[in-house]
Structures are given as structure tokens and as C-alpha cells.
Structure 1
Amino acid sequence: MNINDPYRGVWPVMLTPFDDDREIDWESLKKLIDWYIRAGVNGLFANCQSSEMFFLSEAESLRLTRFVLDHTAGRVPVVASGHTACGLSQQIDQLGAMAETGVDSVIMISNRFALPEEGDDVVLENLRKVTTALPDTVGLGIYECPYPYKRLLSDEVVDWCARSGRYTFIKDTCCRLDTIARRVELARGSRLHIANANGQTLLPSLQAGAHGYSGVMANFHPALYVWLCDNWQNEPEKAELLAAYLSTASFIECLDYPVCAKDFQKSLGNFSTAACRVRGTEDYYAAHGPSAMQQAMRLGDMVGRQLGIPV
């Protein structure tokens, strides 16, 4: 893996902190950005599903992305989505406005290109139209977002993206090693990178040639993912042990994510609240979520120390 490749490594899917009125908490966002960068991440994925982009206005999405770019100040590259519209013309407007913010790549949502019952021919036709309409001065990417429904990319679509020369980034959520390996081969020799979002398959996907990690667990212990992506080849035994912990810890996202992630950020002093727009916090705090999350994070700290990994 080329360490000078800007699209390798760990790309957290950013949270959006809110205050008690569910308005964006800009001071907390500054702390979050600095926390990611101190952990050594390679880039940031702003205005994505973890950012609750489907619950932001278009004006908020653009302001949020510009704020991330301004506070990052070139320390790491930034990609962003905000691709939530249904109509193709509105999608082009959304993505064009996002491109104008100055992000390194604009990330499209795979399920926006066709209805669930429509075939991949519709996806490819609409993808071509949108790609042609966007300026070639910005990179493009695709995220297999599970909301409002998950649409996995066909080999034909991945191959087209790789051969187009326009695409830099696929956030892969297929969770299947055979599919990831095929995609790696389809992308070989192009500028297209495959970022796995799944912690359970991350290490074997890196071994199969995937370029890095872009998943929700980078909102809990990004430094461990950074170490794994950087060192799995040189220290394979440590990597196997760390991957076993990360695979297990990934189940934390089942605890009312993104509430659990925001609660963790609150425990670090980065966020003032765990407030979300996508769901309330009552069920999380009424159950065993906070305790389970904190214990998993403490175990991660212990695993990191025992392996000699800075955490």
C-alpha cells in the first residue's frame, strides 16, 4: 500500500454534534475534527449518513461541509456527500453545490440512482448522466448507504467507475470478502479506491488489496484502525489480535447508533450532548447501552496498551 496515496487508510464517517435544541454545535464540531486528526486519520468523510445528512437542510449541509474544510485547514483531505434528493435534476444541483465547496471528492449515494425494484441498467444510465453533469475538477465517489434502502453496486457499475477516470472512492458496505476482492481487481490500475465500512472483514479485506476503512467505529477508536491499516503487513500477529477485538467491538454500533457514538464523544468532553435528529436518546440511556459501550472502549484501551499501540 502506497503511504503517499491520499485515499488510503482511515476515513471516519463524521458525526454532527447538536445542542439541546438540536441545532449544530459548532464548538463541539471543532473538538471532534481535532480529535480525529490527533488519532492520525488519513481523511474525513463529512456530511454522510452518520452526520444525519437526511435530517439536515441543504443549506445546513453546505455550511457544515465548509466548516469542516475551514477547520481542517488542509491537515487532511475531506470528502462529502449530501446526496439525498430523489429527482435527478435536484441531485445534480445538490452535488454541484457540494463540489463548489472545495472538497476533494463528492460522494454519491448508490440508492439515489434507482428505485428498489429497478435494475442496474437504470443505475448505470443515471450515474452516467450525473457524472457528465458534474465538473471534472472534483473527484467523485459512491457510498452504498443503507438508508433509505441498501443498493449494492454491480460489477458493471464498479468497472465503469474505474474506467471513467472520474472516481476516487467507493465506501463498500457489502461485507463480503469475495465481492470486495472482485472490486479490488476491477479498480486495479485506476484512481478508484475501495474503503471497507465493515470492521469484521477489515483485516482480510486489506489482505485482499482493499485500500482502507471508512466505517462508524472510527468514531470510537480511530487510532486502533489507523494502526491496523498502517501495520498489518509488518506486524501480522499483532494485527490478528487487534482485528479480533475490533471485530467484536463493532457490535457496539447496534446500541442505538449514532446515540452511542455521541455519548462516547460526550464522555471524552468533545460533545456537550448526545442529541440526534435521527432518533431520541431515551431508549439508549434507559437500557444498558452506556455501560456496554464504555466497557468495550476500556477493553480497547487495554488491548492497545498490551500490544504497544498508542491509544
Structure 2
Amino acid sequence: MDYKKSEAKEYAREHFTGVWAANLTPFDEALRIDEKALRQNMDHWIRDLNLGGLFIAGKQAEFFAMSIEERKRLITLSVEAAQAAGNRGGIGRCGIITSCSDTNLDVVLDLARHSANAGADYVIVHSPVLHFGADTEETIYEYYRYLSEQLDIGIAMWNHPDCGYTMSPELCNRIADLPNIVAIKYSADRARYKRLTELAGHKIQVSNPSEEDWLENIIELNWKLYLCSTPPFLLQTKVDQRMNEYTRLAFAGQHAEARKVRDSLEPVRAAFRASKPAGKPQAHGKAWQELLGQHGGPVRRPLLNMTEAELAATREAFAGCGLRLA
């Protein structure tokens, strides 16, 4: 880490910014992590797409279908690939945040310590899955308080209603007072994340995964961080980086120009949404990756792969979306 625990918030305010993408994990036909493909994807995302950072080993990466050792290997590979890409060609450094989420707290701590030792910049930990009414604010606060106590690395909260509850802005604000809590990926409605920004925007980076709302959140809420839902490497190519462009324009205060660029991406968004079959977000993302020239590959059980008809529909949608490849 390039900061002390007491410096985590300040460091994140300066460096945990811009467009960050959640990886999809390429598996080979034997369903092993395809390390060569991962390195090539990351080299493209960092060197060609100039992403500010990468969110490694999250839900889109199928962490739930991996062993602990595989998750650690994915973390190590990703940090090494980011460092290698950054050492070539004089490009800016790409940050790495690793998902250490798990139902077992010891696993969370093990993965977080491994991430820090591997050289990750931050870790992100999903709010705990709790049953039988145990999802009280005191329980959730104590969960993050204990993580903060045990770890020196900067921690991002992560809350999505698929865990069974939505954390209140007031609870998130209370957790934001902990010394190395630096951000939140808050998959909540706009009223909630706007309220949290008012309460804690000076303490942590607040982000919501909706790309469609990213520009307005920069303009209206002065946000500096996008932690994705639809990965930015699915909306951009080496020669067509409209998401990066509208982000740059918005950060520079050129809001009208930024809206024009943002709106021009709507055919790409529409094609992506229309071709995605129900229940197959990772498989569809990987199919779209392959159409972009990236490595996708199969998904692991319990997920389902795309059918031939679904792949054909995706190819047709992609062909008409207007995303330039060259």
C-alpha cells in the first residue's frame, strides 16, 4: 500500500477516482482460469481503454464459483498484470480494488490480507448476508467496525438489495467515520444515494453502478468515482471511448458537450440490453467481449451458458449498435 491506515481516506480522495470496471473472468474449455487470456484482457483495458481502475473478483467475475485459492490467484494475477501494463509505454497507473466478500468473516479477512500483501490498492466487502431478522443496523455496523479494526488497507462498503436489505444512508454515514472506510458501491435508489452524498460525501467516495446515471451524478452530486454495473470495457473500444470522453468533459465542467457524447452511446446501451437473455448476465457479457475482440469463454456452474439462438441475437444486436472497432 502507498498509504498508512490513517491516510486511507485522503489517499482515496485523490486516487480512487474516474471510471473503474468490474472484470469478467475468462475460463478455458476445461473451466480453469485462463491466465493468458486474463492478462491480455487487462492489458487492453489498461493500455488501450485507459481505465482508472479495475474491480477484481466480484460477482460479475463469478467469485462464488471459485475456490478460495482461485480467488487469491485471480487477485495476484490482476495486480501483477496492472503493474506490468503500467510499466510499459508511460501510461498512468491503473488502480486495483479486490472483492473479498464472503459469507464467512474469516475468509473475508484472509482475502483482504492477501490483497494487501499482493499490492492491491483497496478492498471492497459486501454487506453481510444475514437471516431471521439479524440484519439490524448494530449488527451491520459492528461487521464493518471489526473489519476496519483488523485491516489497514482502505475498505469500500458494498450494498445491494440482493443481500436481503438496503443499508440506510444514516448507517452508511456512521460506518464512513471509521478510519479506513474510503468508499461505497451503493446499489440504492437515487434518493438514498443523494442523501448519503450529502451526509458523507466529504468523507468517502460515493458511487452507484448505473452507467446511465453516471454523468448526472458527476454534475449534480460532484461524484468522482464510477464503480460499474455494465463494465466500461463493454461500451468502449480502442478507437471509440465515448464513456471516457463524456467523463472527461464532465469533470472539466463542459456539461452540454458531455451530454451529447453520453447520449450518442444510447444505441450501444439499447443493443446490449435488448440482446441480454434473462438470468445470463455474465455469459452475455462474455459473448459481447468476444465480439469486441476480447477473451470471454464459458461461465461456471451454477450459471448457464448462452444458447446458439441467444448468441445469434447478440451478434445481430452488436452489428447494428454503432460501436466502432477500427
Give the TM interval when normalised to the shorter protein: 0.7 to 0.9
In the TM superposition, structure 1's runs of 4+ consecutive aligned residues that sit over 4 Å from their partners are 243-247
Alignment check: 8 A CA contact 2:22 2:55 kept = yes
Residue 115 (str. 1) matches residue 128 (str. 2): no
Please report how far the alpha carbon of residue 34 of structure 1 lies from its aligned counterpart in structure 2 after TM superposition.
1.5
Corresponding position: 1:201 with 2:213: yes
Distance 2:184 2:273 in 1: 23
The Cα of 1:133 is off from its aligned counterpart by: 1.4
* Aligned-pair CA distance for 1:145: 4.4
Pairing 1:33-112 to 2, within 5 Å after superposition: 33-37=42-46, 38-73=48-83, 74=86, 75-86=93-104, 88-112=105-129
Aligned counterpart for 1:167 among listed residues 163, 175, 181: 181
C-alpha change, 1:56 and 1:228, in structure 2 (3 Å) is same
Q: How much has 1:18 moved relative to structure 2?
A: 0.1
CA distance in structure 1 between the aligned counterparts of 2:273 and 2:296, rounded to whole angstroms = 25
Partner of 1:216: 229
Task: Kindly provide the CA deviation profile for residues 254-309 of structure 1, in whole angstroms up to 9, marking residues without a partner as x.
Answer: 4321111111222333226234344121xx2243454246524742426xxxxxxx
How far apart are the structure 1 equivalents of 2:315 and 2:207? 25
The residue matched to 2:295 in structure 1 has which SS?
coil
Secondary structure of 1:68's counterpart equals: helix
CA distance in structure 2 between the partners assigned to 1:242 and 1:161 by the alignment? 38
Write out per-residue CA displacement over residues 6-38 of structure 1, whole angstroms, 9 at most, x where no aligned residue: 222211111110001110001110121022111
Q: Which residue in the other structure is 1:12 paired with?
A: 21
Deviation string 1:23-61 (CA, Å, 9 cap, x unpaired) is 000111012102211112110001111111111111111
1:183 counterpart (196, 199, 207): 196
Q: What SS class does the counterpart of residue 207 from structure 1 fall into?
A: helix
Distance 1:121 1:250 in 2: 40
Q: How far apart are the structure 2 equivalents of 1:169 and 1:15?
A: 22
Q: CA deviation at 1:82?
A: 2.8
CA 1:51–1:109 in structure 2 vs 1: closer, same or farther (change >3 Å)?
A: same
Residue in structure 2 matched with residue 30 of structure 1 by the alignment: 39
Question: Are residue 264 (structure 1) and residue 298 (structure 2) matched?
Answer: no
Q: CA deviation at 1:104?
A: 0.6
Matching residue of 1:295: 317
Distance 1:146 1:293 in 2: 32
Shift of 1:244: 4.5
Name stretches of at least 5 consecutive residues in structure 2 with no aligned partner.
Answer: 1-12, 87-92
Q: Secondary structure of 1:97's partner? A: helix
* Letter paired with 1:16: T
Looking at structure 1, the residues matched to 40 and 14 of structure 2 have their Cα atoms a distance apart, in angstroms, of 26
Alignment partners' CA distance in 2, 1:193 and 1:200: 19
Q: Is the 8 A contact 1:259 1:276 kept in 2?
A: no
**Residue 18 of structure 1: SS of its match in structure 2?**
coil
Distance 1:275 1:18 in 2: 7
What residue identity is the alignment partner of 1:131?
S
Equivalent residues, number: 292
Matched residue SS, 1:63: helix
Deviations 1:197-249 (A, max 9, x none): 11332222222323232223224114332222222331244145246456645
Q: Call closer, same or farther: CA 1:248–1:26 in 2, change over 3 Å.
A: same
Secondary structure in 2 matching 1:225: helix
2:97 and 2:212 mapped to 1: Cα distance? Answer: 24
TM value normalised by structure 2? 0.79
Task: Compute the displacement of 1:196 (Å).
Answer: 2.0
- AA aligned opposite 2:22: V
Instruction: Tell me the residue number matched to 2:158.
Output: 143
TM-score, normalisation: structure 1: 0.83
3-state SS of paired residue (2:118): coil
